[in-house]
Chain A
Amino acid sequence: MSFAIKKQSEVVVVDVEGQLIVGNRQELKQKVLDELERGERKFLIDFSQTGYIDSSGLGVLVSLSKKIREQGGELRLANLNEDLKTLFELTKLDTLFQIADTRERALETF
């Protein structure tokens, strides 16, 4: 489980490798908030290498999305696998995020 952060044009792209769960969600949160503090405003979290997100992981995504929006920024999600897509739909979380099928599409329209 790790979070790789890199900058692509104006967007901070975070790759979540493995799982996003109660045990590592704070790490993701801190990393993104550090970037926000540094002045970054556009964030994309890529889940192409993510197998599973638990409810506290979802909580962190929502809380990050709120904090970024408060600073006039935006958080987008990309590459949710079928299970994750279903989870977002079932819990109506898909209404809270801009979700793109691919990283490229998310970046294009930012």
Chain B
Amino acid sequence: MPRLNSVLAGFHDVTGCASTVFLREETGKLRIYAMAPETATDTSWVPTLGSGPPTVVESPDGLVIIAVVPGPQRLWLAVGPCSRSTTSLDRFLHFLLPVVSQLLQSSLEAEHAANELAERYEEINLLYSISEILGRSVAEEDTAATILREVSDTVGARRGSILVYSADTNSLRPIASRGVDVAELQPIHLNDACSLSAAAFRDQRVILAEGDDGACPAEAPYRRGSILTLPIMWTPPEGGTAQPLGVVNLSDRASRRIFSAGDQKLLMAIATQIGTAIQNARLVRASLEQQRLLHEMGLAHDLQMTLLPRSSAVAPEADVAARVTPAESVGGDFYHLFRLSEARTGVMLGDVSGHGYRAALIMALAMSASAIHAQANADPGAMLAALLSTLSEELSSTEMFISAFYAVIDRAQSTLHFGNAGHPHAFVIAADGTTERLAAIDPPLGMVDVPPSANARPWESASDLLLLFTDGVTDAVNANGERYGEQRVLDLVRTHRAEKPATIIDHIFQALDVHKGDEPLLDDAACVVVRS
């Protein structure tokens, strides 16, 4: 206090009177704030100071008059002893007191403003760290732990916790704590009658419990003395009513001071920030999981596609084009191609009922089983019968079935043998456009226990086309709900029947894309075109 000191020194020069300003600290201890001339620092002679009228006291150096400085009742001015003057101490006091008061007032204001700024600085710092946490993509638990540490440091709480609501157990689950290991904390049921956290969450209000008020065993680990419990609120960005996500508890303040109204206000604002941080962490986690799931679904799709054979597997005996488009990442439609003995070619198209993972698993089983049975069974009916006996247990336990068409084309004998278990769309299109349906001989595999049989028909080598497709093609709907239908596929193939199978299949899928537009495929779509 240089200005005050120089005023007191000037006063001493003129009047020969010493003067001292005492300050009572928050702890109640009295200390010398300013004095002139600099003498002893002992204050033990000073009586208990109040706000009453000036009093005259005997100090170790002589008579002194003490009066309270107008203002916050924390400062007192003492005048005396005087070395030469005969004027009464009282008059000197009345002269000096307003001057000192004025000086102190402005300096106290400055000090107050500085303190306020320092306090705000801490708050700003805290908000800054929270916003930094908000920006990072971390787990909910890490976010909560960091925020709890920052908040506790700011308000000087040595114990505390953050609990979040779990709807499945209707309880508040501890995710961060201070002063105790979070693993030691028990979840608190929302109907817990003694819990302050449960009450704060239910009523969406701040609870301040002083001393041992409202002590609850579940909350004992993070409570020493007074505890402040605040609900963590979250308002959806699109607006609407705020909803509680959990609670934050703060206790065991180092200063032993109770949480003031200002503290509570600040903490309420922070609790909202915590809500946003937790919600963000959850969204980030959900989005990461979604990404992972999408990635895995992509892998499953690729894996399933690699199960399907290349059409070159049966070249040069047969010119084959085949395509499968699953409705989901994986599906139940499949085709298989086999190069058999004596230049014969096996062609299979299957449709496992339903789609998605269940269908894809049955499809994979059917693929591997049919590869074995096709080599062992020359007759297509026997091949399908063997396939049924391999799969019947899986099919009946999962209540699934497979519509399957299997043909063996023999160029040397100019015959096509086929078995058809419930497959609706199988055709032979001749060079002149004549179209013959290879109708189902048996119901789909898995519907009855009767083994499938086979039929035979002539095959015009290098000219006839075998056309197979699943109901995902015919059932594809456009925005008006119109199905693509079997007839359009047949018309299209007849028009392009002289072209290569690969070109024909391109025409089919292009036309299908045009038809359905942006509508999703409701079922897997598969198509096989063979010339041999």
What chain A residues lie within 8 Å of B400 (beta carbons)? Answer: 59
Complex: A7 Cα to B390 Cα, angstroms: 41
Q: Which of B409-428 contact A (CB under 8 A)?
A: 421-425
Q: Are A55 and B403 in contact (CB under 8 A)?
A: yes
Q: Are A91 and B424 in contact (CB under 8 A)?
A: yes
Q: Are B443 and A59 in contact (CB under 8 A)?
A: no
Q: Which of B334-358 contact A (CB under 8 A)?
A: 351, 353-354
Q: Are A92 and B443 in contact (CB under 8 A)?
A: yes
Q: Which of A52-96 contact B (CB under 8 A)?
A: 54-56, 58-59, 62-63, 87, 89-93, 95-96
B444 at the interface (CB under 8 A from A): yes
Q: Are A59 and B422 in contact (CB under 8 A)?
A: no
Q: Which of A36-66 contact B (CB under 8 A)?
A: 54-56, 58-59, 62-63
Q: Are B424 and A87 in contact (CB under 8 A)?
A: yes
User: Which residue of B399, B425, B440, B448 contacts A59 across the interface (Cβ within 8 Å)?
Assistant: B399
Complex: A58 Cα to B422 Cα, angstroms: 11
A4 at the interface (CB under 8 A from B): no
B22 at the interface (CB under 8 A from A): no
A23 and chain B: residue at smallest CB distance = B522
B447 and chain A: residue at smallest CB distance = A62
Complex: A96 Cα to B443 Cα, angstroms: 8
Q: Are A91 and B523 in contact (CB under 8 A)?
A: no
B421 and chain A: residue at smallest CB distance = A92
Q: Are A59 and B424 in contact (CB under 8 A)?
A: no
Q: Are B399 and A93 in contact (CB under 8 A)?
A: no
What chain A residues lie within 8 Å of B423 (beta carbons)? Answer: 91
A1 at the interface (CB under 8 A from B): no
A62 and chain B: residue at smallest CB distance = B447
B402 and chain A: residue at smallest CB distance = A55
CB distance from A69 to the nearest CB of B (A): 12
CB distance from B354 to the nearest CB of A (A): 5
User: Which residue of B422, B425, B471 contacts A92 across the interface (Cβ within 8 Å)?
Assistant: B422
B441 at the interface (CB under 8 A from A): yes
B126 at the interface (CB under 8 A from A): no
B439 at the interface (CB under 8 A from A): yes
Q: Are B424 and A90 in contact (CB under 8 A)?
A: yes
Q: Are A55 and B447 in contact (CB under 8 A)?
A: no
B442 at the interface (CB under 8 A from A): yes
A-contact 0/1 string along B392-409, CB 8 Å cutoff: 000000011101000000
B475 at the interface (CB under 8 A from A): yes
A95 and chain B: residue at smallest CB distance = B443
What chain A residues lie within 8 Å of B444 (beta carbons)? Answer: 91-93
Complex: A90 Cα to B422 Cα, angstroms: 7
Q: Are B442 and A92 in contact (CB under 8 A)?
A: yes
CB distance from A68 to the nearest CB of B (A): 14
A94 and chain B: residue at smallest CB distance = B443
Complex: A22 Cα to B353 Cα, angstroms: 10
What chain B residues lie within 8 Å of A95 (beta carbons)? Answer: 443
What chain A residues lie within 8 Å of B421 (beta carbons)? Answer: 92
Q: Are A55 and B443 in contact (CB under 8 A)?
A: no
Complex: A95 Cα to B422 Cα, angstroms: 11
CB distance from A91 to the nearest CB of B (A): 4
CB distance from B472 to the nearest CB of A (A): 9
A-contact 0/1 string along B441-456, CB 8 Å cutoff: 1111001100000000
What chain B residues lie within 8 Å of A89 (beta carbons)? Answer: 439
Q: Are B523 and A96 in contact (CB under 8 A)?
A: no
Complex: A22 Cα to B400 Cα, angstroms: 12
A22 and chain B: residue at smallest CB distance = B354
What chain A residues lie within 8 Å of B354 (beta carbons)? Answer: 22, 55-56, 59
Complex: A59 Cα to B440 Cα, angstroms: 17
Q: A55-B471, A58-B353, A96-B448 are in contact. List 13 more A-B contacts (CB 8 A).
A: A22-B354, A54-B475, A55-B353, A55-B523, A56-B353, A89-B439, A90-B424, A90-B425, A90-B439, A91-B443, A91-B444, A92-B441, A92-B442
Q: List 7 tightest A-B contacts by C-beta distance, closest first.
A: A90-B424, A91-B422, A92-B440, A92-B443, A59-B353, A62-B447, A55-B353
Residues of B within 8 A of A (CB): 351, 353-354, 399-401, 403, 421-425, 439-444, 447-448, 471, 475, 522-523
Q: Can you spell out 12 A-B residue pairs with CB atoms less than 8 angstroms apart?
A: A22-B354, A55-B353, A55-B354, A55-B471, A62-B401, A89-B439, A90-B424, A90-B440, A92-B440, A92-B443, A93-B447, A96-B448
